[in-house]
């Protein structure tokens, strides 16, 4: 059961990372006109969140695949990943989710929900 919860959380986070990266060009266009250096910074930060999500998903998948029953280290990977996802959810809730863009509000729930799955996986 623990593996199922962890893989589900990893899948949600990885897919949300893809969904985050796909509209990057449109997001940047929404800031026009913008200086080239500022454009690069927004691009970097927008993609950094997608890379973070992919990294969290990869760590969870690796820990799940490598850990057998009673793998205590795996549980700590799940907890650390959950903490990072919750921190991103809070950050998004205090920033992007305060805009009229609905996807930022959805992001808060997807990240928090994935964190909850990982915490449940670490407790099973």
Query: What is the per-residue pLDDT for 31?
Result: 87
- pLDDT per residue as tens digits for the range 40-78: 999 999 999 999 999 999 999 999 998 765 667 899 999
Over range 89-96, report the average pLDDT: 94
Query: What is the per-residue pLDDT for 87?
Result: 96
Q: Give the Cα separation of 7 and 60 in Å (integer).
A: 7
pLDDT(32) > 70: yes
Q: Give me 65's structure tokens.
A: 């695949």
Query: What is the per-residue pLDDT for 35?
Result: 93
Mapped to the 3 state alphabet, what secondary structure does 3-22 carry? HHHHHHHHHHHHHHHHHHHC
pTM to 2 decimals?
0.87
Of the chain, the percentage scoring pLDDT greater than 70 comes to 97
């Amino acid at each position: 059961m623990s593996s199922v919860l962890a893989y589900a959380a990893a899948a949600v986070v990885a897919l949300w990372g893809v969904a985050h990266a796909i509209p990057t060009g449109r997001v940047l266009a929404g800031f026009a006109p913008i200086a080239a250096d500022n454009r690069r910074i927004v691009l970097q930060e927008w993609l950094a969140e997608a890379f973070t999500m992919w990294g969290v998903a990869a760590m969870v998948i690796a820990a799940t695949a490598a850990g057998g029953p009673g793998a205590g280290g795996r549980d700590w990977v799940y907890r650390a990943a959950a903490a990072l996802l919750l921190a991103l959810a809070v950050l998004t809730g205090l920033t992007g989710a305060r805009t009229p863009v609905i996807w930022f509000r959805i992001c808060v729930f997807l990240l928090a929900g994935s964190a909850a799955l990982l915490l449940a996986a670490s407790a099973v």
